[in-house]
Structure 1
Amino acid sequence: MQNNWRFLWIHLTLLLALLLAVMPLPAEVKLFRPDWPLLVLCYWVLALPHRASIGTAFIIGFLVDVMVGTVLGVNAFGYSVVTFIVAANYLKIRNFSILQQALLIGMLLALYHLLLFWLSHFLTGVYFRAAYLWPVLTGMLVWPYVFLFLRRMRRQLKIQ
């Protein structure tokens, strides 16, 4: 029972990230909102790849699609691709410093946003604007704090 309670914390952090993704913000700030669910997913895939995987990423991405109102499957596909890359290389990424991880997360977020744009362009006719990439920069800047907070929580609660 104790282990199931600890496993629930992973889902609670993902739920909190989903809430942060849809929290109402002013229009000026909304452009800079980091991709909270993807950042939290990347952490859990790095820390516990046997607990969070591509299936988890697909479900979270699908929930983001439903909550944000995008074409179903677009975020799910992007989350799955990024999570696959992280899961395939988690042993290497763990050995990077936090700065190197932040740069890598920035590249993965850029890949996610370019995949999202590409799919949205073909499905709905959206055109590219440079403002689409602001969440990449903010996600890169927020990554060390997300990483350190979740690692501290994982160690204190002994989540395995």
Structure 2
Amino acid sequence: MFSNNGFIILLTLLIALMASITPMPLSVDAFRPDWVLIVLVYWCLALPNKVNIITAWVMGFILDVLLGSVLGVHACAMALSVYIVVVNFQKIRNFSVWQQALIIGVLSAQYHLVVFWLQRFLSDVVFLPNYLYPVITTIVLWPWVFLLLRRVRRHFRIK
């Protein structure tokens, strides 16, 4: 991952981690998009041989540490979501950006439901509909994140 401009990939993932923990007003915090998931999915679609399930598990584990959740909850959900992308990356690449956004929305919903299920299994967490609000913002942001990261990948000639 560190050869051939792998530093840029790592930098985008670190920026996504920082965006995931940046303080937001309480009124919009429920709509915080899944930055790490979006960036991981992009790199898995673009370079599935460099960014894969292990990368997703490590990023999810780091997210667990940063968010103070039970270790492995986000790691497991992130790895499962990225596994689905890596297995189907050739199909997903052929869709338009808006169709991809809907697929990312389903992946984001699956990610949040796995996190909820694991937290429910480990502690007494109650499901609320606003738990899935980030799915909406993730769908809306995917086309712009996709175009931005594609531009970064082409600018730095990451292969």
1:104 & 1:5 partners in 2: Cα distance? 29
Deviations 1:7-56 (A, max 9, x none): 10000000000000000111111100001001000000000001100000
* Residues 1:156 and 2:140 are matched in the alignment: no
* TM-score of the two chains, using structure 2 as the length reference: 0.97
The letter for the 2-side match of 1:153 is: V
For 1:13-52, list aligned pairs within 5 A: 13-52=12-51
The letter for the 1-side match of 2:38 is: L
* Residues 1:128 and 2:127 are matched in the alignment: yes
1:5 & 1:112 partners in 2: Cα distance? 30
Residue 102 of structure 1 aligns with which residue? 101
* TM-score of the two chains, using structure 1 as the length reference: 0.97
1:132 & 1:105 partners in 2: Cα distance? 16
1:27 & 1:68 partners in 2: Cα distance? 16
1:43 & 1:146 partners in 2: Cα distance? 8
Unaligned runs of 5+ in 2: none
The letter for the 2-side match of 1:149 is: L
2:148 & 2:87 partners in 1: Cα distance? 24
1:100 & 1:131 partners in 2: Cα distance? 24
CA displacement at 1:5 relative to structure 2: 5.8
CA displacement at 1:122 relative to structure 2: 1.1
CA displacement at 1:124 relative to structure 2: 1.1
2:35 & 2:158 partners in 1: Cα distance? 20
Aligned residue pair count: 158
Residue 62 of structure 2 aligns with which residue? 63
CA RMSD of aligned residues (A): 0.9
Unaligned runs of 5+ in 1: none
Structure 2 contact 98–143 (Cα < 8 Å) conserved: yes
Residue 143 of structure 2 aligns with which residue? 144
Runs of at least 4 residues of structure 1 off by over 6 A? none
1:88 & 1:41 partners in 2: Cα distance? 14
Deviations 1:69-107 (A, max 9, x none): 111000000000000000000000000000100000000
CA displacement at 1:4 relative to structure 2: 3.0
2:66 & 2:4 partners in 1: Cα distance? 26
Structure 2 contact 20–34 (Cα < 8 Å) conserved: yes
Deviates more, 1:47-56 or 1:5-14: 5-14
